Amino acid sequence: MPPMRVALSISGSDPTGGAGIQADLQVFRTLGVHGAGVITALTIQDTEKVHQVLPVFPSVVLDQLRVLLADIRPHVVKIGMLATDDVARNVEIGLRGLDAVGKPAVPIVVDPVLAASDGTPLLERRAWGTLERLIGRSTLVTPNLAEVEALTGCDVSTREGVEAAGCALVSNLGAQAALVKGGHAEGPSDDLLVIREGGSSTLQWLEGPRIETGRVHGTGCALASAIAASLALGDDLVPAVEHGRRFVRKAIQAAEQAGKLARFLAYF
């Protein structure tokens, strides 16, 4: 048996299990990685909408991270919903527990969650600066089009605009790589992968034929988590991204109706 690999998700709770930390942990388990979890916020939601967001006390978020990281060194960290600036700042402070002299850096995947599909904000506006600093220390950031447009100010209605936005996340904010997800675009849902190499960036469009399934809940959480799990298992970035995209595509194809409105990803 290979040694256990640990992925830590720092995310909000979604009681439906379709998104948030519950989804992250299911993805980690499916991919053979032990899931650790620090909860940043509770949400009250069903498959129709988010009814309420209740951030966890920021000091409790920090204490969870401090105590956990003093004991267990994860092989990857995935960051999702952060809710407030106070929570995000305490996550930033808590991640100092990863800094260890002589140990390889722990990869960080940031899913820059700004709002739910029903439009409910999942991160307050004044936290964007802190989110940008977290993106700056990430191995990979995985925004959708709305998120990358909000964070960079680039118009993403054209491929050139998406490329400019992806490059801005890497060259202006400092992420090592950005995967801009095209799932919410018209037509094919191609993703753009931008990777910083030396002083410049390489750009690669990854084809994604659109799968018509209606509303599927939690695809963003699952993709970032699947890529994180691959990184925890030791894969390089590009194979990890390819693996994560294949995993989510299959899970969307097999998605099943849940509750009144959404379909849930089926993992296997």
What is the token pair recorded at 56? 């966890």
Residue for token pair 């919903």: 81
Identify which range of 162-170, 202-210, 212-220, 233-241 contacts ligand PLP by CB under 6 A. Answer: 212-220
Q: How many residues bind ligand PLP (CB under 6 A)?
A: 17
Q: Is 221 in the site for ligand PLP (CB under 6 A)?
A: yes
Q: Is 55 in the site for ligand PLP (CB under 6 A)?
A: no
Identify which range of 27-35, 68-76, 110-118, 179-187 contacts ligand PLP by CB under 6 A. Answer: 110-118
Q: Is 117 in the site for ligand PLP (CB under 6 A)?
A: yes
Output DSSP code: residue 84.
Answer: S
Q: Indicate the helix (H) or strand (E) that contains 70.
A: helix 58-71
Residue for token pair 């920090």: 62
Among 77, 113, 162, 178, binds ligand PLP (CB under 6 A): 113
Query: What's the CA gap between 5 and 97, in Å, rounded?
Result: 18
What is the token pair recorded at 263? 């379909």
Query: What's the CA gap between 96 and 98, in Å, rounded?
Result: 5
Least gap, CB of 234 to ligand PLP (angstroms) = 26
Among 5, 6, 8, 14, binds ligand PLP (CB under 6 A): 14
Least gap, CB of 169 to ligand PLP (angstroms) = 18
Q: Is 35 in the site for ligand PLP (CB under 6 A)?
A: no
- For the stretch 121-125, contacts whose Cβ atoms lie closer than 8 Å and that sit 24 or more positions apart, written own/partner, are 121/53, 122/12, 122/41, 122/43, 122/50, 122/53, 122/81, 122/83, 123/81, 123/82, 123/83, 123/84, 123/88, 124/83, 124/84, 124/85
Least gap, CB of 233 to ligand PLP (angstroms) = 23
CB 110 within 8 A of CB 119: no
Nearest to 158 by CA among 134, 190, 132, 135: 190
Least gap, CB of 121 to ligand PLP (angstroms) = 11
Q: Is 222 in the site for ligand PLP (CB under 6 A)?
A: no
Among 5, 217, 243, 245, binds ligand PLP (CB under 6 A): 217
14 vs 92 by CB, closer to ligand PLP: 14
Q: Is 43 in the site for ligand PLP (CB under 6 A)?
A: yes
Chain residues binding ligand PLP by CB under 6 A are 11-14, 19-20, 43, 80-81, 113, 116-117, 122, 217-218, 220-221
